Amino acid sequence: MSFLHRHGWLTPYLLLAPGIAFLVLFFVVPLYYLGYTSLQEGTVQVGYTFTWAWDNYSEAFSTYQEQFIRSLQYAGIATVLALLISYPLTYWIAFRGGRWKNLLLLFIIAPFFVTYLIRTLAWQNILADDGFLVGVMQALGLVSDDGRLLATSTAVIAGITYNFLPFMALPLYVALEQIDPRLIEAAKDLYSSSTKAFLRVTLPLSAPGLIAGTLLTFIPAAGDFINAELLGTPNQAMIGNVIQSKFLEITDYGQAAALSVILMAVILLMIAIYTRILGTERMTG
């Protein structure tokens, strides 16, 4: 006991030790192994050997550029769409929700509780070629008579947007909810226009939530493969599909790992830039 009296500085480290050790063992170390595997060559038949196989990377870059770019594109569009939908929605709940705030918030979180796969399969059903939705859109002229919604980029992007919407909405809500409405009132007094008050006061104050939401949406979306698999054609294949197939079906571990490393590197770069700008406390606080 007196040990800690004299060495009180140890306490935080002791508290951290088990959790951090676990993360180091099962998050950091695997990343090392990912890199290690990415430099291996071989197949199941002959075994895998570590040979500093940098051509795994060069091949990955050249062969799958299209899928990489597509992943970033889809994720980007989905993030923007999620933002466009979430912002007004969370604004509405935060400022007009009143007593019903938490209930309405529940609606945003609710989809999260239905298994990801089941919700995406439901979209397969909803967007079916001769289903109700397509019929309505054809009647409205939004979809051509021999067109379809399923198995298109539209469906994939829509799926990604839907599935990651809560990740955009929740941080936004938290940020908006913390804004003191009296500030907005005051702004309206000063600027005599709701729009200006919004632009000059609300928007900047919600920035941290906006940025957190963007990050939390874009990054996982870039690595997604389920939406592309269930709602798209091979022309919509994202880098996640390639990685999944190479690991689990083709068992070309070297190249699969190289692709994962590239994806992770791009993402770490983005996170590093963001945290530089904002500081990690804001992110996780």
Residue number, 9 or 139, with CB nearest to another protein: 9
Q: What are the beta bridge partners of residue 50?
A: 40
For the bound state, the minimum distance from the C-beta of residue 67 to another protein, rounded and expressed in Å, comes to 8
Question: How far is residue 55's CA from residue 52's CA, in Å, rounded to a whole number?
Answer: 9
User: For another protein, which is the closer residue by CB, 122 or 203?
Assistant: 122
Nearer residue to another protein within complex by CB, 12 or 141? 12
* For another protein, the closer CB: 28 or 207: 28
CB of 109 to another protein, least distance (A): 7
- Contact of 227 with 215, CB cutoff 8 Å: no
d(CA 64, CA 238): 9
- Two tokens, residue 210: 């906006």
The structure tokens listed for 76 are 């980007």
Distance CA 260, CA 57 (A): 10
Report residue 54 as tokens.
């940098």
Of 10 and 207, nearer to another protein (C-beta) is: 10
Give residue 98's region: left, alpha or beta (phi > 0; psi -120 to 50): left
Helices (H), the chain: 2-6, 10-23, 29-38, 55-63, 65-96, 101-109, 116-126, 132-139, 153-177, 181-191, 194-197, 203-222, 226-231, 239-248, 253-278, 280-284
Task: Give the nearest distance from C-beta 278 to another protein in angstroms.
Answer: 11
Nearer CB in complex with another protein: 52/284: 284
CB of 70 to another protein, least distance (A): 11
Cβ pair 49, 40 in contact under 8 A: yes
**Shortest distance, CB of residue 183 to another protein, whole angstroms?**
11
**Interatomic CA distance for residues 161 and 166, integer angstroms:** 9
Nearer to another protein, 54 or 107 (CB): 107
Q: How far apart are CA 12 and CA 235, in angstroms?
A: 51
Amino acid at 102: N
Shortest approach of another protein to residue 210 CB, angstroms? Answer: 15
CB of 172 to another protein, least distance (A): 12
Q: Kindly state the smallest distance separating residue 204's Cβ from another protein, in Å.
A: 18
If the CB atoms of residues 109 and 207 are measured against another protein, the closer one turns out to be: 109
Sequence-separated (6 or more) residues with CB below 8 Å from residue 213: 82, 83, 86, 167, 168, 169, 170, 171, 172
